[in-house]
Structure formats: structure tokens, C-alpha cells
Chains A and B, each alone.
Chain A
Amino acid sequence: MTGPVHSPLIPTDLPKLAQAGDVRTGAQLIWETLAREGVDIVFGYPGGAIMPAYDAMPGYGIRHILTRHEQSAAHMADGYARASGRVGVAIATSGPGATNLVTGIATAMLDSSPIVCITGQVPSTLIGSDAFQEVDFTGVTLPVTKHNYLVTRAEDIVAAIREALYIAASGRPGPVVVDITKDAQQASCPFRWDSKPISLPGYRPDMPVLPPEKVAKACSMLAAARTPVILSGQGVIRSGATDALIAFAEKTNIPVACTLLGLGGFPASHELSLGMMGMHGEAWVNQAIQQSDLLIAVGMRFDDRVTGTLATYAPHAKKIHIELDRAEVNKNVKVDLPLLGDARQILTALTAEVAETKREDLWAGINNAKGDSAVRDIQTLPDTGKLFAAHVIHDLWRYTKGAAVVVTDVGQHQMWEAQYYKHDYPRRLITSGGLGTMGFALPAGMGAFCSQPEGPAVWVVAGDGGIQMTAAELSCCAQEGIKVNVAIINNGFLGMVRQWQQFFYGGRYVATPIQSPDFVKLADAHGLKGLRVTERGEVRAAIEAAEASPITTVIDFRVEQEDSVYPMVPSGAALGDMIRRPDSATPVDAQLGHNPIFETAKD
């Protein structure tokens, strides 16, 4: 048995950068540009059309992480970007290597994550001939990228990569593809570097200052509001607006609800924090929104998972929309006052002008509504020997002191994480929200770790379905010395689909029971640490053992099989009409007409 074959995380070889006029190959110019732009790690997988680039890589001080699938390379770049705020870079070959990136690119697009994907392409003379491993990758990625480039000349490589990094990170961030033909990588040209800031005639991410009359209008709407609610989205995190939002909320005493991707943008433990809104948001949050007379939406886009049916969404509320992307204004919900620009600047400007307000009535109502929430009650459930996902997440929050970087897939575990892990810090929840990509969590968590190896512990929380989509990356963890903690919420089902089958498809569990490998043995097979937890009493020790271990540790949490996520707004229903966690006073059969749900708040 051989030990891990990993290179150190911090590269020790010194960059060998070119002088102006030095002749370099296109392949060298790729790394030259990345190194000069501060990129020190890329996630990728080699192949024919990108081989010249790989051959030129050593010596530029850039670490390469060899993934087990290109989809993971894109997710790692994404996780890296979301955890750090820097651009993540993925690299792959033409054809299947490139198309494997697409799910990761679309994930980054929907969640506005800045990544750059560099792909090899067949030689320019063969483009259009259906050559081996040829695919029209700029064509394929057109609808799922912020922008893309096809580069056929070595002379164009530097500018394309610089522009790609700039476009990915600026304005509303997003993925950019740079597809470089093999002959462009092989050709040589003199190195040129334009040190001026990049300026593109059709791309102007800078925003004008908010006109004072709009600030005044917002202030008068705020002054007139009796039951306002702030809706805090991922834009708050992206613009670094947490402090500005806290100052604004504290001065106006307006409660703050977060979207899924906005969690952590406003501290969950703050007294003005309401919690998560939307389909699996807490009942009192959705109720506060439905009864509100003014919504102040910050960096969020009124996604269908947040609004429920639009016809009945917050019917009495006027809406102020603080948003960077003009195309989001009035897309789903008609707003009364759009404030376009950077969230931090706008919130700061509003805080300076707005009147200080007390809102005791508002809080009395909200606290009253909190009383009947099962989500809150479950945290104090006695230990009956059963293991519920809610317990696992709640304990994970307790024993990581709420400070871990938690990375989730999509599904039940994702919602339980959002409900029970209280995020107090921005960039500590990384989840596939918009696209809802299974298989995202493990590679994204690995990318997050690579962005800050000395940072807070990374906890990958995934279901037994999602983890199997990219479980091969455990091998990458072992080879590259990546340390993440993997909590598998293993219920033997594709849980969220099973829940929908239970609620909306007559309890017919078609294709949702899923068999898994022995995850402890799987970890062991990779030379990693594996643990199994079947009772609540074992949760703490497992969490602590994982954190203490220097290598990636996989914990197989065998949770209750047919537990559901409550509360829930059925798809297409009004936000206020939530299915609550049933209790013994209201038999579940009477509520739903079919399968009983095992757990109740009074268990």
C-alpha cells in the first residue's frame, strides 16, 4: 500500500515569468497569465487537446488538483470561489472533458459564482469536421455562461484569459469559458502584457451612485411601513454588505429573513434575524412576509422557491428591490422602488438618511407566531434512541460552534442543514441553490478547503444519493491531501423525491429506495477514515473524531428513513399555506390522507 501522492498545498517552486517580447508558446501564456493574475490553484483533468497546456504547467507556481471527473473540477472551482471570493479556475480537455464541465458551469451560473473554465479544443483547422473529441463548446455553453471565448491564435490567449477572469469576478459574478484550440497552444508569439485595467466597450459593471431622490423615496416608504421585513439574499454576501445590513436593520428595527443562499449574510443569532424564508422556510418567516406591508429585498431575485405562487405573494406589501442586475427587476415580482447598484453602498446610503424606529408591535406578533413551530421544538426533543437528521445537523452546529464551512448538495439534507445549522458568518454555507445539483457538495467542499487550508473546518453534508454521484472524489482527497469532513445523511432513499411521492404522488415510492455501498469501507478503501453513527448519543464523538483527524473523514449517519422536511409550502401554493410537522393531536392520515409520518413534535 502506497501513501498519498500529493504535492504540498502551497507550491514551493518559483514562477518563471516572461519579460515583454520573450517568445512563448500559447500553452505557456495560459499559465503566465493565470500566475500574473494571482491564480495559484486549478482543478482539472488532462486529455488530448489540452496536453500542450498541461506540459507547460510546471514551473509557474500553480498547483493542480487532479479530479476524478470534470464535473467535480467545475464544482471545486465553484466551492473555491464561494468560500474565498476569488475566481476559481477549472481546466479540461475538448469534447467529453468539456461537456462534463457543463453541469458545474450551469451550477455556477444559476448561483452567480465566479469561475473560469479553460478547455482544450481540436486544432483550428479541424473545427467543424467532427474531429475526434470535437464538440462546439462555446455553442454548448452559450446559454449557461456569463460570457465565453473561442481562441484560435496564441496571440489572443493572454487577453482572453485576463478578460475572462475580469468578467467572471466583476458585476454580478458568473462562469466564463475560454476554449483554446490545440494549435493555438502549440504556436508561439512574443509575450505582451497590457498593464492598464481591462476596459470592454460593451461591458460596464460599474454602477452609478444612487440618486438622492431615490434614497428619500425609500426613506418615506420605510417611515410609512408598520410591518416591514428585509429579505436578504446572496447579493449581501457577494457585496460584503453584512455590516451595512446589520447597521440598517438595527437602526430601523426591521426583522431580516434570509434566502437559502443568503444564509450567513445576516447573523442567525442576531436578535433581528427571523430565519430562512420560502418553501422550507420557517412558518413564522413566511407568515411575516405574507402579512408585511413593506418588503426590502436585498440582493435576491424572488425565486419561485422563495415566493410560492406569485398571485398571492405578499399581497399587502410594497416592495423595494436593492439589486445589482437590472434584468432581475420586475422579473418575477413587480416592485415599487428598484434601487440599482451595490448592496453595501445602497444600504450605507439608506442607513445615513433613514429615521431610527422602534417596532415593538411587530415583534410581539412575530414572537407569537413562533410559538407553534415544530422546527423550533425539535431541537429540544428528548433522546429516544432514534437518530433524526435534525439531531445530526443540530449537533453538528453545536459541536462545530457554528463556525464550520458547511457545503451541501440538494434535497432533504440541504433543507435540514439550512434549518438547523445557524449560520452566523458569510461564506460559511456553500450550497447548490439555483440549479439544485446533486453531487455538488463533496467537490465544492474540497474546493472550499483548497481556498483556505488553514481556515475553519469544512463539513460536507450530503445525502446517500448525492454523495454517490461524485464519491470518486474521495480518491482525489486522498491523493491531494485534501481534508474535509463528510457527513452522509443516509436514509436509504432519494429523500426529497420520496417526500414528494409521499405527499403528492399517493405514497408510491417509484425509484427512490437506493442502495449504498458501505460508506465506512468505502472511506477505508481510499485510505481515509470512516465512521458510522446510528444513535444520537454517538453523534458528538463522531464529529469530534472527524475534526481531530488529519485526513478526510466520512461519517455514515444512519437516520430515520421516512422522515420529511417540515414545514413545507407545496410547489405552486401560497407562501402562507404550509404543511406543518404533524403532531398527535392532528393525525397525519387526516391531514394528508396517506402514509403516516413517523416523527412528530411530541415523539
Chain B
Amino acid sequence: MTSPGSRTFVAYVEDKPGVLNRVASLFRRRNFNIESLNVGKTHMPGVSRMTFVASADRDTALRVEANLYKLVNVLHVEDITDAPAVYRLLALIKVRVEPAQRPEVLQLVEVFRAKVVDVSASTLVVELAGTGEKVEGLVAVLRPYGIEELVQTGVVAMERGSGHGPSLASASLRPRFD
């Protein structure tokens, strides 16, 4: 799901001030390039989860992981690029639509399983959750109508199936040494 040359990491970090800055600073300092970054709370109190996509080959990915573990506030890191996983980002697209064009636009929105979340006399705001490709697809078909605004979140990812995700007390927090 990650584009070639890119790798997707999931990192559990302590929910403390400045942790995002530490992670971003590490990437900048080590000359690793972040394509997408998302951070948010988890079900575990005091623990945030980051998903980030970085341009890296396998070797670089191992060093990204090792460097992240050197940050005192980083609890657990996983490179999930090669694992089956669900990837989502959320996009809001404000598109210019005259009343006459509404039906065909709504049809397109339907095809992409997107939602219209705001309607005005001359615009619609479309919400789409999906992969990056899906968002690009919808943007491409809406572009001829005239896009006024577009905003999207970074990608979030989660491995499919059970047995993933550490609990704070578990031994799975330990970095791998192979």
C-alpha cells in the first residue's frame, strides 16, 4: 500500500510535550525524508500513536527504527510496510457546483463512497476517507468542476488481523535486535 521507495512505520510514543518535535527533529537531523506524518491518542492513557511514511529502503528503514528507539520517549516502533494493513486518510474537498450540476457530482460522490457534508448555493464540501490513491481519483474527477479548497490528513495505518499493537507493560515494547 506504501508507494515504492517509501516505508510506513507505526510508533507508540509517550504523550508528553515536545515528543512530536523530537521525532521530527530526528528525521531532519538524520536526513530521513518524511512524506506523511500523523499523531493521535490511543486507547492507552499517556500513549500516542504516530503513523509516518518515509522515503527509505530496507536498510535505511532499520536505521530509522533504531534511531527512533534512541529517543527516550519512544515506546515501540514497527515497520509495517510488508505486512497486510489498512491505510486511511481523510480528505475534505470544497468543489464549485452550480445547482444544475449537483446531480452528476452527487453521483460521482456516490461512486467513490464519499459523503457530502456541506452544501451552499454554489459549493459542496465532500468528505472522503480512503487510501491516497482513492483521494487522488476523486480529486481528478472533481477537478473539472473547479476545486476551491482541499485539505487532507496524513495516512494512518493498522495491521490486519489480531496480535498486533503492544500494551505498555508487555515485553513486545522491547526493540528487536536482529
List the interface of chain A (C-beta within 8 A of B). Answer: 138-139, 142-143, 146-147, 150, 167, 200-204, 207-208, 325-327, 329-331, 334, 340
Contacts and interface: CB of A to CB of B under 8 A. Distances in A.
Central interface residue in A147, A202, A331, by most chain B CB within 10 Å:
A202
B12 to A, nearest CB: 9
Contacts, number: 52
B22 interface: yes
Nearest to B12: A202
B70 A327 contact: yes
Interface stretch (B71-79, B121-129, B140-148): B71-79
B174 A202 contact: no
Interface stretch (B1-9, B60-68, B88-96, B105-113): B60-68
A279 B177 CA distance: 32
Contact of B72 (A139, A203, A334, A340): A203
Contacts of A330: 59, 62-63
Given A202-B74, A325-B70, A340 B168 contact: no
A340 B22 CA distance: 25
Contact of B174 (A142, A147, A204, A334): A204
Central interface residue in B29, B59, B71, B177, by most chain A CB within 10 Å:
B177
B159 interface: no
A207 B73 CA distance: 18
A334 B58 CA distance: 13
B98 to A, nearest CB: 48
A202 B25 contact: no
A143 B75 CA distance: 19
A202 B25 CA distance: 18
Interface stretch (B13-21, B130-138, B150-158): B13-21
Contacts of A207: 177
B175 interface: yes
Contacts of B71: 147, 202
Contact of B13 (A138, A142, A143, A202): A202
Given A207-B177, A327-B66, A330-B62, A202 B18 contact: no
Contacts of A201: 14, 75, 168, 173
A326 B63 CA distance: 8
Nearest to B46: A201
Nearest to A167: B72
A138 B29 CA distance: 16
B10 to A, nearest CB: 15
A143 B25 contact: yes
Contact of B66 (A147, A208, A329, A334): A329
Nearest to A328: B66
B87 interface: no
19 contacts: A139-B21, A142-B21, A142-B22, A167-B72, A201-B75, A201-B173, A202-B14, A202-B72, A202-B75, A202-B173, A203-B72, A204-B175, A207-B177, A208-B177, A326-B175, A327-B70, A329-B63, A329-B66, A330-B63
A202 B29 CA distance: 21
Central interface residue in A150, A200, A207, A326, by most chain B CB within 10 Å:
A326
A208 B174 CA distance: 10
Across the A-B interface, the 6 shortest Cβ-Cβ residue pairs: A327-B66, A326-B66, A147-B72, A203-B72, A202-B75, A327-B67
A201 B172 CA distance: 12
A168 to B, nearest CB: 11
A261 B59 CA distance: 27
Contacts of B66: 325-327, 329
Contacts of B72: 146-147, 167, 200, 202-203
A208 B173 CA distance: 14
Contacts of B73: 202
Contacts of A146: 70, 72
Contacts of A327: 63, 66-67, 69-70
Nearest to B17: A150
Contacts of A147: 71-72
Nearest to B67: A327
Contacts of A334: 59
